[in-house]
Amino acid sequence: MIISTRQLCKVYRVGVERIHALRGIDLQIEPNEFVAIMGSSGSGKSTLMNIIGCLDRPTSGQYLLDGRDTSRIGVRDLARVRNQQIGFVFQSFELLPRMTALKNVELPLIYASGGWRARRRKAEEALERVGLGDRMHHRPNQLSGGQKQRVAIARAILNNPAILLADEPTGNLDTATTNELMEVFEQLHDEGQTILVVTHETHVAVHCRRTITLTDGLISSDISTSSKGDVGNGVRTVGRAIEGALGTPTAPTHRLKDA
């Protein structure tokens, strides 16, 4: 078990108002799972991802990462956990504009130990794994959206993290690029990577082997699909899952736009 949460709650205070973003999440994720997290806007997906990624702490409940209770980890060690055990991919890439792809990928290594050479080699390897071996010295403004996101993935997998987290990684990309990017995730999954992807798009979710749907801070459905090849089935399954969760027969994407 890489991730194990029990009754995870997160409450935000805005003035006197209390917003219950998560209301008790119980989630277990095994090594090499490929999980999609879906749900309408405001359902708490990002909140959950941030807690899993050790960027945030729950208000109550327990989160065990690789068997370790994260509430007992101090600020400095939490930074180390983010550095070593977690790879985060963001919707808006978050590349540093003045650095080349290679330098961007190297970034986590300056907060770890290791010499110049090992560092360079590791970063080059990571870029090759995402298929960007020929773009190492390009700056972010010389790369397409898909390429930027691949640089971000290379940065996330650099330290061989236990889990790769991606919060709407394809949110800023068109469908063709989205599919290309999902191929990268598939490949990393085949290589043994545990992956969690937050998405609104069913054609992203179909690449995953398990789809968790959040509604109002609670898991409303958790469906495993057999394999990647089973695309049609996947779409239908996921579609049904969302319908079930939202309690409406309309198309999930349409419903999400309204929200």
Partner 1 sequence: MLNPLFYIQAIVLALSQIWANKLRSILTMLGIIFGVWAVTTVVAALSGVTTMVLKEFEALGGSKMFIFPDRPDDAPRNKYPWSVIRLKPDELIALATNCPSIVAITPETNLGATIQHGERKREAVRVTGIWPDWHDIQKRATLIGRPFARVDEENARQVCLVNQDAISELGLDTDPIGQHILVRSRRFLVVGVVENRRETIFDRNVTGTEILIPFSTAVKLQDPQFFFMIIAKLKSPEVAAEAKAEARFVLRQARKLGPDEPDTFELFAADEFIAGVKRVSMVLTVGGGCVVAVSLLVGGIGIMNIMLVSVSERTREIGLRKAVGATPAAVLMQFLLEAIMLCLVGGVIGIAFGEATALALSKFPGANLQEAAVPWWAIVMSFSFCAATGVIFGMFPAIKAARLDPIEALRHE
Ligand X SMILES: Nc1ncnc2c1ncn2[C@@H]1O[C@H](COP(=O)(O)OP(=O)(O)OP(=O)(O)O)[C@@H](O)[C@H]1O
Helices 116-129, 145-157: crossing angle, 10 deg rounding: 130
Per rule CB under 6 A, is residue 41 in the interface with ligand X?
yes
Sheet containing strand 218-224, edge to edge, reads 86-89, 163-167, 194-198, 34-39, 210-215, 218-224
Q: Which residue in the set 46, 194, 199, 237 belongs to the binding site for ligand X (CB under 6 A)?
A: 46
Binding track over 116-135 against partner 1, x by CB under 8 A? x--x----------------
User: Checking DSSP bridges between strand 60-65 and strand 34-39, what pairing results, if any?
Assistant: unpaired
Per rule CB under 6 A, is residue 252 in the interface with ligand X?
no
Q: Provide the minimum distance between the beta carbon of 171 and Mg ion in the complex, in angstroms, as a whole number.
A: 9
Q: Provide the minimum distance between the beta carbon of 127 and partner 1 in the complex, in angstroms, as a whole number.
A: 16
Stretch in the footprint of Mg ion (CB under 5 A) among 42-50, 156-164, 200-208, 210-218: 42-50
Binding track over 60-99 against partner 1, x by CB under 8 A? ---------------xx--xx-xxx---x-x---x-x-x-
3-state secondary structure string across 173-198: CCHHHHHHHHHHHHHHHHCCCEEEEE
Q: Could you say which DSSP state residue 32 is in?
A: T
Per rule CB under 6 A, is residue 131 in the interface with ligand X?
no
Per rule CB under 5 A, is residue 5 in the interface with Mg ion?
no
Stretch in the footprint of Mg ion (CB under 5 A) among 27-35, 43-51, 124-132, 219-227: 43-51
Count of residues interacting with Mg ion (CB under 5 A) = 1
Q: Hey, what are 36's tokens?
A: 């999609």
Q: Which residue in the set 5, 43, 46, 100 belongs to the binding site for Mg ion (CB under 5 A)?
A: 46
Per rule CB under 6 A, is residue 47 in the interface with ligand X?
yes
Among 169, 155, 190, 233, smallest CA distance to 37 is for 169
Binding track over 16-35 against ligand X, x by CB under 6 A? ---x-x--------------
Stretch in the footprint of ligand X (CB under 6 A) among 43-51, 62-70, 227-235, 246-254: 43-51
Rounding to the nearest 10 degrees, give the CA dihedral for residues 224, 229, 235, 240: -30
Stretch in the footprint of partner 1 (CB under 8 A) among 114-122, 201-209, 216-224, 248-256: 114-122
Q: Which residues are CB-contacts of 159 (< 8 A; sequence separation ≥ 6)?
A: 83, 84, 85, 87, 108, 109, 112
Per rule CB under 8 A, is residue 14 in the interface with partner 1?
no
Measure the CA–CA gap between 157 and 163, rounded to whole angstroms: 9
Q: Specify whether the CB–CB gap between 71 and 6 falls below 8 A.
A: no
Measure the CA–CA gap between 228 and 237, rounded to whole angstroms: 13
Compare residues 46 and 199 and give the one whose CB is closer to Mg ion.
46
- Output phi, psi for 214, to 5 deg: -105, 140
Question: Residue numbers of the site for partner 1 (CB under 8 A)?
Answer: 50, 53, 55-56, 75-76, 79-80, 82-84, 88, 90, 94, 96, 98, 107-108, 110-116, 119, 155
